[in-house]
Amino acid sequence: MPRSKKGKRGSSKPGSLRQEVLQLQLSAKACPKGVKNGVKGESTASDDEMTSDILSHCSSASESASVMEESTGSEQVDEQTAQEQMEDKLKQCIDNLMDKSAKTRLAALESLRQAFSSKLLYDFLTERRLTVSDCLERSIKKGGGEEQAAAATVFTLLCIQLGGGDEAEEGFKVLRPVLTSILIDSSASIAARQSCARALGMCCYVSTAEEGETLIKSLAHLESVFMSSYPNKEGTLPTPKPGSSWLHSAALQAWSLLVTLCPASKLAVLLDLHLPKLLACLQSSDVNYRIAVGETIALLVELGRDIDQEFEVEDSESLCKCLKSLATDSNKHRAKNDRRKQRSIFREVLHYIENEDFPEEKIRFGLENVYIDSWMRRRIYDAFKEILESGVRDHLQHNPLLRDIFGLGPPLILDATIKANKISRFEKHLFNSAAFKARTKQRNKVRDKRADVM
């Protein structure tokens, strides 16, 4: 993506620079001349010479600054040109979604994924949402497994871009049956089912249709996927199929995201139904699924304590014992990074179950911060971070949907005032260079005089 604000560093104010350097000169005049260790000699440096040195350097700096100021206008033109070029590329990618070649469609989907995740494009997409939605629907229905997975991800990003309003709700109503059919189809690609599980959870969360029948149906479809990992009647966990653990993790995380929207009455039913079964899933052979289960247990306990302060987990002693063993797991047959990640997560889960202690995390973006101070906020933030990747901070700064979810208010408009009052890096460099040159000449002359006296 083009850098939109590259030319701003060049802006400088020669007048203010001269004033600062002259203040430095006046402070130098206040010091006694030629006195060092009680020995009085000639003047260390002529004031006229020092003024000439400083102003000659500032003159060249001012000329450079004026050139940079003149280039600011051209940079603004370049920014507009770059924006137009980016939109032209996106239009071409949208056209390529209808290409006959599957390779071309996959490349277009990947380009759209990167663009949608890295920057807010609401105005551009509002005019083309129907076209994009139709193309994505065609890819999800008729494409191969890889194309279905990519199209479901792009559709999720489209809903986030549209802000969860009427446009996103309309698109989700059309594609929800398609996403659901692939999710529950055991013959479909694991990657496609996994991507559809995330899309179903996130799109239901951000759209205005998150309440009522749509929410209940989405929860039920996701439950049907990860409940296949629950222990059977004999109490033993089923042997997972290749890749099924990743699918179960995605479905469980999408389900836990939607659980945060449930009313207290529905939440109580879900706690009684799933919490005991999830405790048994902590013995799963897949580390990623164990971590997803542990985080879901902590989230459910937190939500249970919110609706009932005296909420307690049944057989909490065995739960804490299991969490302690996972938090101190040192089995050599597991990868070192997996053991480290597992121990870190389950230490946090154990501390919360025992002491209701949650490690607060601060996410910085621009001039603002968002605080992750509960398991619910962590689940929400992790869900957006998983789909937006490195662009999550840009969306936190500019996307009204995310700012509303995290209680940040409308996007801040501080660029003009802050950049007007902030000294640019180029101006700091000019001032420091001028001051260093004057200081070096002053010290060299002092050293020469001192050598003559000695």
List pLDDT tens digits, range 10-43.
344 444 445 554 555 555 444 444 443 443 444 4
pLDDT in tens, 295-340: 999 999 999 999 988 888 887 888 899 999 998 877 766 677 777 8
Note whether 179 and 196 are within 8 A (CB).
Answer: yes
Positive or negative: CA dihedral 339, 345, 350, 355: positive
Residue 406 pLDDT level (bands cut at 50, 70, 90): very high
- Separation of alpha carbons 91 and 114, rounded Å: 14
- Separation of alpha carbons 160 and 395, rounded Å: 9
pLDDT in tens, 124-138: 999 899 999 999 999
Q: What is the model's pLDDT at position 448?
A: 62
Helix axes 244-259, 213-226, angle to 10 degrees: 150
Q: What is the model's pLDDT at position 414?
A: 64
Q: What is the model's pLDDT at position 304?
A: 93
- Separation of alpha carbons 121 and 124, rounded Å: 5
Of the listed ranges 40-44, 172-176, 257-261, the least confidently predicted one is 40-44
Q: What is the model's pLDDT at position 40?
A: 40
**Residue written as tokens 């307690």?**
312
Please name every residue paired with 35 in a beta bridge, in sequence order, or none if there are none: 40
- Separation of alpha carbons 394 and 119, rounded Å: 7
Q: How many other CB atoms are there within 10 angstroms of residue 203's CB atom?
A: 28
Note whether 262 and 254 are within 8 A (CB).
Answer: no
Query: Over 70: is that where the pLDDT of 48 sits?
Result: no
Q: Which of 297, 314, 211 is nearest to 252 (CA)?
A: 297
pLDDT in tens, 139-170: 999 999 999 999 999 999 999 999 877 888 88
What is the average pLDDT value for the chain, to the nearest integer?
Answer: 81
Helix or strand run (H / E) with residue 17: helix 14-29
Query: Over 50: is that where the pLDDT of 89 sits?
Result: yes
Q: What is the model's pLDDT at position 375?
A: 96
Selected residue with higher pLDDT from 54 and 391: 391
Longest dimension (CA), the chain: 101
Query: Over 60: is that where the pLDDT of 396 sits?
Result: yes
Q: Which of 251, 234, 327 is nearest to 289 (CA)?
A: 251
Q: Which two tokens stand for residue 321?
A: 């014992």
Buried residues in 378-390 as b, exposed as e (16+ CB within 10 A):
bbbbbbbbebbee
- Separation of alpha carbons 396 and 411, rounded Å: 9
SS3 call for 58 = helix
Q: Which of 292, 262, 283, 357 is nearest to 325 (CA)?
A: 283
Q: Name the amino acid, one letter, at 379.
A: R
Percentage of the chain exceeding pLDDT 70:
77
Note whether 369 and 403 are within 8 A (CB).
Answer: no
Average pLDDT over residues 41-66: 46
Q: What is the model's pLDDT at position 300?
A: 95
Q: Which two tokens stand for residue 109?
A: 């989907």
Residue 120 pLDDT level (bands cut at 50, 70, 90): very high
Percentage of the chain exceeding pLDDT 90:
51
Separation of CA 409 from chain center: 18
Q: What is the model's pLDDT at position 453?
A: 53
SS3 call for 313 = coil
Q: What is the model's pLDDT at position 3?
A: 40
Residue 363 pLDDT level (bands cut at 50, 70, 90): very high
pLDDT in tens, 215-228: 999 999 999 999 99
Please name every residue paired with 36 in a beta bridge, in sequence order, or none if there are none: 39
Please name every residue paired with 365 in a beta bridge, in sequence order, or none if there are none: 368
Q: Which of 10-24, 198-212, 384-398 has the highest mean pLDDT?
A: 384-398
Q: How many other CB atoms are there within 10 angstroms of residue 70's CB atom?
A: 10
Of the listed ranges 226-230, 232-236, 404-408, the least confidently predicted one is 232-236
Burial of 116 (0-12, 13-18, 19+ CB in 10 A): buried
Separation of CA 211 from chain center: 27
Query: Over 90: is that where the pLDDT of 94 sits?
Result: yes
Selected residue with higher pLDDT from 23 and 230: 230
Rounded to 5°, the CA angle 48-54-55 comes to 85
Q: What is the model's pLDDT at position 232?
A: 85
Q: What is the model's pLDDT at position 200?
A: 96
Q: Name the amino acid, one letter, at 361.
A: E
Query: Over 50: is that where the pLDDT of 175 sits?
Result: yes
